[in-house]
A and B are shown apart, each in its own frame.
Chain A
Amino acid sequence: MTETPAIRSRIKHLLVDALHLEGLAPSAIADDAPLFGEGLGLDSVDALELVVALEKEFAIRIQSHEVGKEAFVSVSALAAFIEGRLATAGNARAGS
């Protein structure tokens, strides 16, 4: 099982890089701060851009209906979602 803090850190760096959040240090993003609407104030296009970046970074697939929903509320939520996705992929590989 991968360690959640490492995933959270990777997500924060991804947010800053992929979304061009210049002047924002990844460490300054709180784990549980809202990403969309308030907090970081990201919008629908940011969500989609983030998805492409996450898919590349973690080699996972994110379905359209999952975009912008509960999994995307905060960095913590995203980390848990990705952990779960990686575990499923890992189990699938182990089982084949």
Chain B
Amino acid sequence: MPGADPGPVRARAVAVTGLGAVSPLGWGLGSLWDGLRSGRTAIGRFDRFDHSGHRTHIAAQVDLAAEPARLRGKPLRLSLADRFAVAAAREAVAQATIDVDRCRERTGVYFGTSTGGMLETEAYLEALFTAMSGRGRPPAASLLASQQNNGPGDAVARDLGIGGPVQTVSAACASGAMAIGDAVRAVRRGEVDVAIAGGSDSLCRLTYAGFNALRAVDERPCRPFRGNRAGLSLGEGAGALILEPLGRVLARGARPLALATGEAASCDAHHMTSPHPEGFGAAEAIRGALADARLDPSEIDFVNAHGTGTPLNDAAECMALVTVFGDRAPDLPVTSTKALVGHLLGSAGALEAVATILCLLNREVHPMPDDGASDPGIRLRLVLGRPLRLARARHALSTSLAFGGANAALVFTRHGDRNPGR
């Protein structure tokens, strides 16, 4: 049977062979890593839409002027979230040196998003409501095209000519991580030889106003785990990973960047917007991912936390980390990519997975800005100001804890001791 591998499904190691990113720090991995290392936040002024009537006025937005060459072919009616996804996927496929032509039916796409083409839907509806009240003509229906949540994943599949399974997960802030988890399992079970996994979301008024209605947005750039944290910051972008069975990667002479060794998902089943205060569901997901990776907590070298900067999330997540890591927790380096790029919602888990792997490859944990007071209740080893050089950079944990209580955790492992650089 094509793609089958002898031995139990779970034993099949899954390699990450390509990464791609579009973020407020720039288009591509290079600008992402440079920005992450710098520890300077990209959260600030933005003009994705008119936010004068909103409660806050900052976000982390992608610089559209820096978008690389537009997509070839006929106008594809892509949303911004679609464009981010396609760019990230293309970068990842290129890095992995995948020849899609030769494995179309054995390649799948597993993507996550929270709002898909909502930004474009808002523009359409605004024009429609205006027209309905007698001012102006109704907008063209074609603008409605890519406006559901399957948009980004489908756009990636269409752009690359994929023939295998394509699915989009939409589980709010855990979407990207869950999509990667799904892809890991799909590769393990032999459903595909190549999985393009990731997430994408753009800023939009719905989430900006919505999180503000929950008074969950900080007027200043978010300060995850810090004492004066006052809420999250929103961001946009996409992250993509290429996953393949390790055996196949080595057989074709390609180089694994890392291994995706563990994944797990759980649900708080507690409350729609607040996490379980003791982080039970998060702890379960973390423990599940460690067990899946066959690792003891003591083997994790750093954590890329969900770390949104809301008082409740960070406290609950800290409790979850303390629950799992026990006495080690105060020494465990913890960072949150959200401090630099904001909360990318459906693509957060994916972009943060990319960031986590970059940290592993470079043997350093990217910092968060060192501003503000510390929180005496958060006894974790936060990486602040400057990158933290790691004596040991073998295994890393990335967590995503969502609205609605869905939690996902991923474990990545360096492959070999060589540093392939960037």
The answer on direct contact between A and B (beta carbons under 8 Å) is: yes
| A residues neighboring B (CB under 8 Å) | 43-45, 48, 51-52, 64, 67
CB of B271 within 8 A of CB of A67, answer no
CB of A45 within 8 A of CB of B273, answer yes
* B76 contacts A by Cβ under 8 Å: no
**12 further A-B pairs in the complex, CB-CB below 8 A; given A52-B213, A67-B215:** A43-B271, A43-B274, A44-B273, A44-B274, A45-B214, A45-B272, A45-B273, A48-B213, A48-B214, A48-B215, A51-B215, A64-B230
Chain A residue numbers with a CB within 8 Å of B271 are 43
**Bound: A72/B22 CA distance, A:** 43
Chain B, residues 271-299, CB within 8 Å of chain A (1/0): the string is: 11110000000000000000000000000
Could you give 15 example pairs across A and B, Cβ below 8 Å? A43-B271, A43-B274, A44-B273, A44-B274, A45-B214, A45-B272, A45-B273, A48-B213, A48-B214, A48-B215, A51-B215, A52-B213, A64-B215, A64-B230, A67-B215
**Bound: A43/B214 CA distance, A:** 12
**Bound: A67/B274 CA distance, A:** 16
Nearest A residue to B272 by beta-carbon distance? A45
Nearest A residue to B273 by beta-carbon distance? A45
**Bound: A43/B270 CA distance, A:** 13
Chain A residue numbers with a CB within 8 Å of B214 are 45, 48
Chain B, residues 291-335, CB within 8 Å of chain A (1/0): the string is: 000000000000000000000000000000000000000000000
Chain B residue numbers with a CB within 8 Å of A67 are 215
**Bound: A48/B272 CA distance, A:** 14
**Bound: A52/B215 CA distance, A:** 11
Nearest A residue to B212 by beta-carbon distance? A64
Chain B residue numbers with a CB within 8 Å of A48 are 213-215
